[in-house]
Amino acid sequence: MKIIPAIDIRNGMCVRLTYGEIKNEKVYGDPLEFALRWQEEGADMIHLVDLDAAFTGEFRNKKLIQKITSSLKIPVQLGGGARTKKDIMERLDDCGISRLIAGTIAIEDPGLVRWAHSTYPDRFIVGIDARDGRCCTNGWVEETDVSSVELAREVHKMGIQTIVYTDISREGSMKGPNIAHVEEIVKKTWINIIAAGGISSVDDLISVRNTGAYGAVIGKALYEGLLTLRDAIKYGS
């Protein structure tokens, strides 16, 4: 299973949002320093989330993201705020990222997902952010009636092979992932699922791996010292 450390950016800083809420924000420091640290500790990919773009639609962190990607020797995947052709092209053509994650458009503009996949077939993947199995959009603040499994099946029909699945109710909680939901989306879709939300121990990683998930994103547990990246790679891979 692929282990991917997360760096969430807001106001130019590395932060974590418990349950995806700004009111529960904790600031950890310089995103570039953490990116270099995770690379040094063995990461073979970084998971960047531009929270400013996700919440406001404004791509204010472009220069910072360019600095991060140009400073690393490993690939970076980026999510947050890509909702138009211009957004997608700007991120994939100008920022040095290896692949882009987009979530809101998978529900609101399926035609754009088809265009992105056909234009960047190996560099565009979908993010499904869900609470209680229901998808949320626009920075996790708008809930829909679309189930995560339904959406995964729909984007798979469009040709999408990889999905980052985040359980918002566990995000930043360090209470463990929702294994039942991860297993459900893996078993009912058989797409490459990268699971995120709540992973805080080696046991959590083993549980996620046993669902058949393709990968796991780890965030707050690394920053709080509950889990080292080297142990995560050793026992989760």
Write the CA distances from 219 to 62, 91, 131, integer angstroms.
21, 22, 18
Instruction: Measure the CA–CA gap between 6 and 102, rounded to whole angstroms.
Output: 16
Annotation marks residue 8 as catalytic:
yes
Annotation marks residue 132 as catalytic:
no
Instruction: Measure the CA–CA gap between 217 and 227, rounded to whole angstroms.
Output: 13
Tell me the torsion sign for CA atoms 226, 166, 21, 169.
negative
Write the CA distances from 88 to 72, 85, 92, integer angstroms.
21, 5, 6
Given the residues 50, 52, 87, 129, select the one marked as catalytic.
129
Given the residues 8, 52, 167, 204, select the one marked as catalytic.
8
**98: Cβ contacts below 8 Å, ≥ 6 apart:** 45, 75, 76, 77, 123
Q: Is 161 exposed, middle or buried (0-12, 13-18, 19+ CB in 10 A)?
A: middle
Amino acid at 45: M
Positions annotated as catalytic residues are: 8, 129
